[in-house]
Amino acid sequence: MKLLSPLHWKDYELIDSGDFEKLEKFGEYILIRPEPQAIWKKTLKNEEWQQMAAARFVRDSSKSRQRTGNNDGWKFNTSALLNAGKKIKENWWIAYTYEDIAIKLKLNFTSFGHIGVFPEQANNWDFIADTIKTWDQPGNVLNLFAYTGGASLVAKAAGADVTHVDAVKNMINWGRENEQASNLSNIRWIVEDALKFVKREVKRGKTYNGIILDPPAYGRGPDGEKWVLEEGLTELLEQCSLLLAPKQSFLVLNLYSMGLSSVVSANLADAFFKPESMEYGEFFLNSRTGHKLPLGTFLRFKR
């Protein structure tokens, strides 16, 4: 098992974490957001957090992690913004570069506390780019539960044909904006339930050289399809095993359910794909103050 953290991202920094929150810098803004795994005490004082942060997302404590309540929302720190000579924008941009890969990502203050990127995934992006560049000929990559498209952009910039699937149309539109800003084109954007799409591709006899899966713990498809990770993951991976090319291929699987170990992913990969070798473990973010913040598990292999 491995513990991995992004190595080079100038536009992102985890400053501190604790007391079920995290203090992060995304480009020009420092934000406070909920973090259920940060059960330790903050290193910096609350006053220091408040002085630095431009905005804080507050979640109604009577609601679950997956649901937003009437009291949820962003609280903007006018004093901190004035001191920094800034104003809050509706959206702003950050960049990610790795060797000759350069992408841009739009960030936004969404109503559910996300802003458009999961920084720990940068380590997977490097793996995806490195793998695609070793291929003898161009291949195609399928990105499922693909959100705003960071992995899709990296795969495209590395030379792959990319199919990006997400059940939420707004995320597809967001991804298209990121594509345009990154000077990329011809990503195939699909609004669809991931399992339905995969089953249809299997029937069509399609194959992919790369499959990226980032399934949520719970979700809904565009037609109300219910997704529960523990109930659907096995079938989804079994279907994906029928899509993945036997050579010149890779698979990346991320899990954010706090109840599932990366060993679960390893067992599923071994059952359906039987890779000669694979790496799996946990992603974390290093903070300026020294704490390591765990943020989900990963499994990946190439063949």
Per-residue pLDDT of the chain (303 residues; tens, 9 = 90+): 899 999 889 999 999 999 999 999 999 999 999 999 999 999 999 999 999 999 999 986 544 444 444 567 999 987 766 666 677 888 999 999 999 999 999 999 999 899 999 999 999 999 999 999 999 998 999 999 999 999 999 999 999 999 999 999 999 999 999 999 999 999 999 999 999 999 999 999 999 999 999 998 888 888 888 878 888 999 999 999 999 999 999 999 999 876 789 999 999 999 999 999 999 999 999 999 999 999 999 999 999
Same domain, 76 and 130: no
| Alpha helix segments (H runs only) across the chain | 46-52, 78-83, 122-132, 150-157, 169-181, 194-203, 229-243, 262-272
Same domain, 174 and 279: yes
Whole-structure pTM over 0.85, yes or no? Answer: yes
Residue 130 lies in a domain: yes
Closest CA to 223 of 182, 257, 195: 195
Domain that holds residue 132: 118-302
Residue 111 lies in a domain: no
What's phi and psi for 261, nearest 5 deg?
-80, 160
Rounded Cα distance, 250 and 159, in Å: 15
Same domain, 77 and 152: no
Residue 67 lies in a domain: yes
